[in-house]
Structure 1
């Protein structure tokens, strides 16, 4: 992992452990670009398919990490904290993750779906 990612997760070991659990799935295909900004880590395949952010950096929150996934359709799951239609045919799904164990097979499937949709739009 790169130095900017290390800096992004500095000071929150739980957020870092969740990230470390998600990272192999987020970068499971060739060509994934990782962009680290002050507020988030974005994963792109031509377009962004996943965003990790730490709510405690800008809000009063005890949630270590939020994973946001843009998808073509709204997924119905009580696990999502919020789902917002950001444009026609585009839904942003926000998932609060409090431990690495919550980054389970279901979350990996959602990441794979978002990644596949980003790749489809590249073609």
Structure 2
């Protein structure tokens, strides 16, 4: 996967984003492996998130503790052009006419299971139609 700088910003690493939070880094690693098993995607790491992109972003991993009081090590946000109904999502937002953002709190790498991998596959395929 290509780890390029995003929009000219200084490049960061997943280790920097999850510094002091090994559980979050482990969750990120599981997401990265799942996406790599699907296909190639660019990876952009900023000070607030790790974005996986094809023609457009389709998956984002971030640490909620940066913004609010939270014990959750990582959140995986999956962008799709439609809403998926699942009790596993902490929240689903509709930030634009064509995007539904599905936010999944992950506490451990093994939570990146077959169901999550299928959602990632859908998002991956639709990110470069």
Q: TM-score when scaled to structure 1?
A: 0.90
| Counterpart-to-counterpart distance in 1, 2:62 and 2:104 | 10
Aligned residues: CA RMSD = 1.6
Which runs of 5 or more residues in structure 1 are unaligned? Answer: none
Name the structure 2 match of 1:56: 65
Following superposition, the deviation at residue 89 of structure 1 comes to 3.0
Name the structure 1 match of 2:99: 90
Name the structure 2 match of 1:65: 74
Q: 16, 21, 29: which one pairs with 2:39?
A: 29
Query: What pairs up with 1:33-44 in 2 under 5 angstroms?
Result: 33-44=42-53
Which runs of 5 or more residues in structure 2 are unaligned? Answer: 4-11
| Counterpart-to-counterpart distance in 2, 1:77 and 1:65 | 18
| Counterpart-to-counterpart distance in 2, 1:109 and 1:87 | 23
Following superposition, the deviation at residue 70 of structure 1 comes to 0.8
- Once structures 1 and 2 are overlaid, which stretch shifts more, 4-13 or 71-80? 4-13
Name the structure 1 match of 2:14: 5
Q: TM-score when scaled to structure 2?
A: 0.86
Name the structure 1 match of 2:117: 108
| Counterpart-to-counterpart distance in 1, 2:72 and 2:15 | 19
| Counterpart-to-counterpart distance in 2, 1:56 and 1:11 | 11
Following superposition, the deviation at residue 52 of structure 1 comes to 0.3
SS in 2 for 1:119: coil
Following superposition, the deviation at residue 26 of structure 1 comes to 2.1
